[in-house]
Amino acid sequence: MKTTFKVLLFSLLIIIITQTNILAQGCVAIRSTGGLCSMDEHPDSLAPQGSWLFNSNSRYFKSFRHFVGKAEQYQRIALGTNVINHSYTQDLTLTRNFNNRWSLALDVPMIYNERSSLYEHGGSQRQSTYAFGVGDVSLTGYVWLFDPKKSHNGNIQIGLGLKLPTGNDNVQSYFYNVGPYGSKRLGPVDQSIQLGDGGTGIITEANAYYNITHKFGIYGMFYYLISPTDVNGISTARGGVPTATAIANTSDVMSVPDQGLVRLGGSLAISHFDLSAGFRYEVQPVRDLIGGSDGFRRPGRIFSGEPGVTFRTKKVSVYAIVPIAIIRDRTQSVPDLRTTQLTGITAHGDAAFADYTVNIGVSFKF
């Protein structure tokens, strides 16, 4: 059993590493939570039949550094032309443990986003747009591959679920100093602060942990959201008329992109505390695994160091996880590639990234 488990865990880690080479992520971090697998004993592994787990996670980040590829556009901050996004997400997750192997989790995100810029408001005065409300709700079923009663040192959990288009993908706000007379205009806010993407997605997930000693263990997580929907039809013209170039390269409407996340690291238990350190790789691909990849999106990737600390008792866990960006890369989108082909001149859009993301949360077992 132990040999089989180690082979499967090693295979899972290899799959995680190889998959990240073909994908990519933009200016908004993807996942809000994910701290549970950094514990030296997974709290669900010995869950009694019929128990519940409630997790509340608060996430905040500020994206303001612009990148084209891996090159930071330092002049944007110096000139004051950079876009600044403030993103607050409160994830409320309720998990039903049917027994010590099977569980079902419902995640409901509450979101407040604020975006300030010059270029969206005539170019001379910085103004802000806003979005607030419920995001896209997800429902995911999980199963442990090995019986937790027998596999004491570690386990692998796989998950399959649906992300539902419950979040408004057409939140509108006022854009100022636009139009022929410099008036304000109501239109859809930027894709980066919309509450939802307008598509139903398929969630695939794998979580693994292995305790090398009673105090020290390693963990891994792979998450990928498959979004078969091509575009959601929401205009990117901010209440105006899309340009001929945008129509030609399909960036006149918003894309519904795939998303992914990989986490690898280790955890050390000291009394009631778990100290974790690892790496996090967030991705938004240029092209989706299933369906078309038309429309506007900011593909790219973020590679981060991820320190964390968890205080846990028998029933309650409190944690803080702060991914710190190491590499940020805004890759060429499909519209970028089409414009390059049509004009013969390389087109490569930019994206604003955050320096770090703060995740603070609490979990209750009952």
Domain ranges of the chain: 2-365
> Per residue in 191-204, pLDDT tens?
999 999 999 999 99
Q: Would the pLDDT of 359 be above 70?
A: yes
Tell me the CA distances in angstroms from 182 to 6, 174, 177, one per residue in order: 65, 12, 4
Smallest Cα–Cα separation from 226: which of 168, 162, 281? 162
The tokens for 207 are 């979580």
| Residue 89 parent element (H or E) | strand 84-97
Least confident of 42-56, 234-248, 287-301: 42-56
Residues contacting 169, CB < 8 A, separation 6+: 194, 195, 196, 197, 198, 232, 234, 254
Give CA–CA dist 255/288, Å, rounded.
10
Question: What's the pLDDT score for residue 11?
Answer: 37
Segment 67-76 mean pLDDT = 97
Among 21-30, 206-215, 257-266, 345-354, which stretch is predicted with the lowest mean pLDDT? Answer: 21-30
Distance of CA 106 to the CA centre of its chain: 17
Write phi, then psi, for 340 (nearest 5 degrees). -60, -40
- pLDDT value at residue 49: 73
- pLDDT tens across 205-232, in order? 999 999 999 999 999 999 999 999 999 9
Give the predicted TM-score (pTM) of the model.
Answer: 0.87
Q: What is the pLDDT of residue 182?
A: 75
List all residues 6 or more positions away from 7 whose beta carbon is below 8 Å from its beta carbon.
none
pLDDT, the chain, mean: 87
Quick one: DSSP state of residue 95? Answer: E
Q: Which CATH architecture has domain 2-365?
A: Beta Barrel (2.40)
DSSP state of 320: E
Given a cut of 70, whether residue 23 has pLDDT beyond it is no
pLDDT of 365: 92
* AA identity, residue 83: V
Which comes out higher in pLDDT, residue 343 or 23?
343
**pLDDT tens column, 296-351:** 999 999 999 999 999 999 899 999 999 999 999 999 999 999 999 999 999 999 99
The separation between CA 165 and the C-alpha centre of its own chain, rounded to angstroms, equals 16
Confidence of residue 190 (pLDDT cuts 50, 70, 90): very high
* Whole-number pLDDT of residue 40: 35
Q: Would you place residue 46 in the very low, low, confident or very high pLDDT band (cuts 50, 70, 90)?
A: low
Pairing of strands 127-134, 253-255: unpaired
pLDDT at residue number 47: 61
